[in-house]
Amino acid sequence: MLLRGTAVAVSLIAGAALTLNLTSGEAVAPRTDENPSNSQTIGMAPISIGNPAIASALAWLDAGRPSVTGSATPQTAPKSTDTYLKAFRVKAGDTLSHILDRAGADSQTADEAIRALKRIFSPRDLKAGQTINVAYTPTLSSDGTDRFTGFQIPLDYATRVHVAPAPEGGFRAYEIELPLQTRQVRAEGTITNSLFSAGSDAGVPPSVMAELVRAFSWDVDFQRDIQKNDRFEVMFDQKVDEAGRPVHDGRIVYASLTLSGDRKPIYLHQLADGRWDYFDDKGQGAKKALMRTPIDGARLSSHFGNRKHPILGYTKKHTGTDFAAPTGTPIYAAGDGVVESAGWNGGYGKYVSIRHNSEYSTGYAHMSGINRGIAKGKRVRQGDIIGFVGTTGQSTGPHLHYEVVRLGAKMNPMRVKMPSGEKLSGKELVRFEGSRNNLNAKWASLAGKGKRLAQN
Ligand SMILES: [Zn+2]
C-alpha cells in the first residue's frame, strides 16, 4: 500500500476486520461473485496503520473492495463499534454535497470533508454511475443514527481517494494505491467458429482478444486468413488484489497464431531505449513500416498541407504528397494489405487504395494504369507493383499523389509516425533472445494446471 501526496507512512499489518452493511435501497453492492440478497454483511480486508495516532481514523482505509463472506443477517448481528461503509451511486447531475446529504452527513461536516477532498481530487470529476463508499462509526444513540466519518472514492482498479477524520480535527484526504500483484495468465484454443468465440471459450477477456488482433494486424488479415482448426495461444498480465481476485487485465506478453499450419509467435520486449514492442521469434518487429516513398527514382514535387490548387485555383489543403516521375514508373504497395478499391475515382483519376490494418490505409492517385490482378479484395505484399504513374483525373503532369490515412484522417506521409518495422540485431537481439526464452519458459511453466485459465 502506498500513500501519495502525504507524509503519512502506512504499513500493512493485521488489524481489525470491518463490516459493511448493505441494507438501504440506495446502497449498491460492490463487485462480488455472488449476491444472495440485498442485505448482506461483507467482510473487509484486515488492515491497520503503522502510525497509531491516526490508526483509528484510518482503520477502514483498505475497506474498498470487500468480499462476500456469507449471508449473515445484519439485522440480528450485535451492534459493533467498528466503522462500516455504505455504498452510494452517483446519479446523473448529482453533486457530492447531495450524495453526502443523502448519506445523512450534516452539511457542515460534509463541507469539511469535501474541502479536504478538493486538495487532491475535484468532486466535479465524479461521473454518474460511480460509487462512493461512505463511512460511519456506530454511536450509542438510541435513534440508531451512526456518525458520518468520511468516505472513499474508487478512481480506477488501482487507486482510491479516502477522506478520513484528521488526528488534529477536521478531515484529511489520501490517495491510496492498492497493493496489487501481477500474475500471468495462459490461455489457448482451436478456432472452430471465429477467433473471438474461441478466445471467449478459453476464458480470455475481450479486451485481451482485441489487443491480440491489434498486435497481429500488420501480418494477418483477420477477415480472410483465419481458417477452421487454426490455433491461438496467449499469455497476458493480470492484476490481482490481496485476495487473489482479478481486478484488471493487462497487456499481452506472448501470443502465437498458427494459421494453416504456419506458426507466428510474438513476444513483448523492452528495448534498451525503454520502448516496449512485439517481435517475432527472430527479433523482427511485429509492426511493419509503410513505405514513405512507394515509388523509385521520383522527385517530391508537392508537400502535404495548404497550397493553391494548380487546377482549381483556390487554396486547399493538399491531402497527400506528390512525387513527379515519368509516366509508366511502377508504383508499389506501401505495405502488406488488402486492396480496398481499384478503379476510376473522380479527380483522383485511376486510383488504388489499400487497407493495411484497422489503423492504416494508403491511397495512390492519377495512375496511367492499374496493374493486372489489382482489384478490390486482392491481398498485396509490401513492394508489389499495384500500378503505374500517370496524369489521369485532375492532374497537371505525370506524378503519383500518395495518401496515408490513419484512423480515417489523412496524414502527412513524410511526417506520420510509422511503426518502425525494425529488425533487432547485435546486443539488442541478444537481450531480446533473453526475454523470448524467459517468456517461453514462463509459458511452459503454466502448462497443464488443469484450469480453464492457467494462472501464476
Ligand atoms: Zn497530390
Domains of the chain: which residue ranges? Answer: 2-177, 182-288+445-455, 299-411
CA–CA distance, 181 with 246 (Å, rounded to integer): 9
Q: Does position 285 have pLDDT exceeding 80, yes or no?
A: yes
**Level-2 CATH architecture, domain 182-288+445-455:** Roll (3.10)
User: How far apart, in Å, do the first and last CA atoms of the chain sit?
Assistant: 21
Q: pLDDT band for position 39 (50/70/90)?
A: very low
Instruction: Look at residue 133 in the predicted model and tell me its pLDDT.
Output: 95
Q: Averaged over 227-233, what is the pLDDT?
A: 94
Q: Averaged over 304-315, what is the pLDDT?
A: 65
Q: Does position 3 have pLDDT exceeding 70, yes or no?
A: no
Q: Does position 318 have pLDDT exceeding 60, yes or no?
A: yes
List the Cα angle 391/397/399 in 5-degree steps: 65
Residue 382 Cα, ligand 1 centroid: separation in angstroms? 22
Give which of 344, 404, 333, 339 is closest to 368, Cα–Cα: 344
Q: Which CATH number fits domain 2-177: 2.30.30.140, 3.10.450.350, 3.30.1490.20, 3.40.50.10800?
A: 3.10.450.350
Residue 297 Cα, ligand 1 centroid: separation in angstroms? 17
Q: Would you say 339 and 373 are in contact if contact means Cβ atoms under 8 Å apart?
A: no
Instruction: Look at residue 296 in the predicted model and tell me its pLDDT.
Output: 74
Q: pLDDT band for position 307 (50/70/90)?
A: low
Q: Which backbone phi and psi does 301 adopt, to 5 degrees?
A: -110, -20
What tens digit of pLDDT does each residue of 426-455 get? 999 999 999 999 999 999 999 876 445 656
Residue 337 Cα, ligand 1 centroid: separation in angstroms? 22
Q: Averaged over 287-312, what is the pLDDT?
A: 73
Among the listed ranges 87-96, 185-194, 309-318, which one has the minimum average pLDDT value? 309-318
Residue 295 Cα, ligand 1 centroid: separation in angstroms? 14
CA–CA distance, 294 with 296 (Å, rounded to integer): 7
Residue 399 Cα, ligand 1 centroid: separation in angstroms? 8
What is the assigned CATH class of domain 299-411?
mainly beta
CA–CA distance, 418 with 285 (Å, rounded to integer): 12
Q: Would you say 198 and 192 are in contact if contact means Cβ atoms under 8 Å apart?
A: yes
Residue 411 Cα, ligand 1 centroid: separation in angstroms? 13
Residue 334 Cα, ligand 1 centroid: separation in angstroms? 16
* Adjacency order of strands within the sheet including 40-43: 19-22, 40-43, 67-68
Q: Does position 373 have pLDDT exceeding 80, yes or no?
A: yes
Residue 181 Cα, ligand 1 centroid: separation in angstroms? 53
Q: Which backbone phi and psi does 309 adopt, to 5 degrees?
A: -70, 125
Instruction: Look at residue 38 in the predicted model and tell me its pLDDT.
Output: 30
Residue 312 Cα, ligand 1 centroid: separation in angstroms? 13
Residue 318 Cα, ligand 1 centroid: separation in angstroms? 6
Fold match flag (2-177 vs 299-411):
no
Residue 344 Cα, ligand 1 centroid: separation in angstroms? 16
Residue 378 Cα, ligand 1 centroid: separation in angstroms? 25
Residue 327 Cα, ligand 1 centroid: separation in angstroms? 15
Instruction: Look at residue 343 in the predicted model and tell me its pLDDT.
Output: 97
Q: Give the H or E element holding residue 324.
A: strand 321-324
Residue 319 Cα, ligand 1 centroid: separation in angstroms? 7
Q: pLDDT band for position 340 (50/70/90)?
A: very high
Q: Which three cell numbers stand for residue 2?
A: 502506498
Q: Averaged over 48-76, what is the pLDDT?
A: 37
Instruction: Look at residue 79 in the predicted model and tell me its pLDDT.
Output: 54
Q: Would you say 367 and 387 are in contact if contact means Cβ atoms under 8 Å apart?
A: yes
Q: pLDDT band for position 421 (50/70/90)?
A: confident
Three-state SS string over 261-314 comes to CEEEEEEEEECCCCCEEEECCCCEECCCCCCCCCECCCEEEECCEEEECCCCCC
Instruction: Look at residue 82 in the predicted model and tell me its pLDDT.
Output: 83
CA–CA distance, 228 with 241 (Å, rounded to integer): 38
**Which residues hold their Cβ within 5 A of ligand 1, which is an ion?**
320, 322, 401
What tens digit of pLDDT does each residue of 157-194 get? 899 999 999 998 899 999 999 999 999 999 999 999 88
E-strand ranges in 115-270 read 131-137, 147-154, 159-165, 171-177, 181-190, 231-240, 246-259, 262-270
